[in-house]
Structure 1
Amino acid sequence: MALSQAGGFALLLTFPGLLAFVLGIIAENKKPTANPLTGNGGAVTCDYPKDPTIVLGVLSVVFLFVTAVLGGVALVFPYQGKRVPIGSLFKSKSLLTFTLLSVVIFLVAEALLLWATILESIHRRQFNGKVDPTGACPTAKTGLFGGAAFLALDSTLFWLICLMLAVNARADHFDSFEEENLKGSYEDVGNANEYAPALGAHPTARV
């Protein structure tokens, strides 16, 4: 049952992660080049065509954030109502390492997506339909959306790995807990036998 619940979380966090990747790639490919229009006196006016780049960037940021939240929740979720203390869960060095890597990759991907989206928005507000003295009509740097999209995909894959490691760590925790209980039970039985009086030590007086 716990495995089926973990599988449900895996599907939930994979879907927005893939959406963040796909939308980031589309934003990179659809990012238009401004058309510099030369007017009277040689002044250059930037004309940016309408496109969904900024909207795609925002959606990619949101979906990647949702993936990270679901990944964090999936690690500490009480499957079958059985909660594992975070300290016990992260005794697994591999789980701790991959969780830290997942968080770092998520932060880098989110920062790049935000940077590319904000830059594109700033350029549109500052230069669209206005005179640009340099005539450059800038856009967000090529490759920002694409690189951030691949990092978003990496972050999603790392969260999936963390989820699998968390399932193993939970199993180890409950196995060790059951072993301790069984050991304690056997020790109690041994102590009881050790101190219990022998059957023939106190013979019953016959009348």
Structure 2
Amino acid sequence: MAVTPVQYAVVVAILGSASFILGVLAELKKPAAGEVITGKEVVICKYPSDPSVFLGYASFALLLTTAAIGYQSLFYPYKGKSIPRAAIFGSSWCTSFFYVSVANTIFAAIFLLWPTITEQLQHSRNIHSNLDYECPTAETGLLGGGAFASLNASLFWLISLMLTTNVREDYFDDEAEKHEII
């Protein structure tokens, strides 16, 4: 069974939406702060059990999978016919949307990873010698912002796929016309 651009588009849309949902859930499940337990010359932070770290990493993994499949969908030889990369990148629209897709993916990855790693470090490094330490969690809003950026990245991969499909059709129409003339 041959893979079609529509099938790639559905997979990119589903994975991008799942990354968005998990990122939003990670933001919503993140505790506001940890409980401060003062000991002898130390502060121990006790954080409630929450899935935000797992959800953040899962959202990041889905984002990377979305980007990888989105990238593959642009250059996949549909119906056994491949198109030269020069033809795809010869279109200024395709080129610009491709780079915007990559930039959005990087931006979303940063905004998903940064608070997730920060949260994980705060949970694991929970003993502090500063007696005024307040046991914060990762900055509020970053995971949610990363989730929206992840959804945005998947939408740009879909737009890139649509533009590439148009370039493919034009390329093969031009090739067919050249063969008819000869």
TM-score (norm 1): 0.82
Task: Report the AA paired with residue 70 of structure 2.
Answer: G
Distance in 1 between residues matched to 2:95 and 2:43, nearest whole Å: 55
Instruction: State how 1:145-160 maps to structure 2 within 5 Å.
Output: 145-160=143-158
Which is bigger in relative contact order (C-alpha 8 A, separation at least 6)?
Answer: 2
Distance in 2 between residues matched to 1:150 and 1:109, nearest whole Å: 8
Q: Is the 8 A contact 1:25 1:145 kept in 2?
A: yes
SS at match of 1:37: strand
Provide the identity percentage.
Answer: 39
* 1:99 alignment counterpart: 98
C-alpha displacement of 1:39? 5.1
* 2:35 alignment counterpart: 35
* 2:173 alignment counterpart: 175
Instruction: State how 1:117-136 maps to structure 2 within 5 Å.
Output: 117-127=116-126, 133-136=131-134
Distance in 1 between residues matched to 2:96 and 2:23, nearest whole Å: 27
How many aligned residue pairs are there? 181
Q: Is the 8 A contact 1:45 1:132 kept in 2?
A: no
Larger Cα-atom Rg: 1
Distance in 1 between residues matched to 2:36 and 2:116, nearest whole Å: 21
Distance in 2 between residues matched to 1:140 and 1:164, nearest whole Å: 37
C-alpha displacement of 1:139? 1.1
Structure 1: unaligned runs, 5 residues or longer:
185-207
* 2:76 alignment counterpart: 77
> 1:40-86 CA distances to partner (integer Å, 9 max, x unpaired)?
78x64311011111100110110000000000000000111111011
Cα root mean square deviation, aligned: 1.9
Q: Is the 8 A contact 1:46 1:131 kept in 2?
A: no
Task: Report the AA paired with residue 120 of structure 1.
Answer: E
Instruction: State how 1:8-87 maps to structure 2 within 5 Å.
Output: 8-32=7-31, 33-38=33-38, 44-87=43-86
* 1:196 alignment counterpart: none
* 2:159 alignment counterpart: 161
SS at match of 1:94: helix
Greater alpha carbon shift after TM alignment, 30-39 vs 108-117: 30-39
C-alpha displacement of 1:93? 1.0
C-alpha displacement of 1:165? 0.6
**Runs in 1 of length 4+ with deviation above 2 angstroms?**
37-41, 129-135
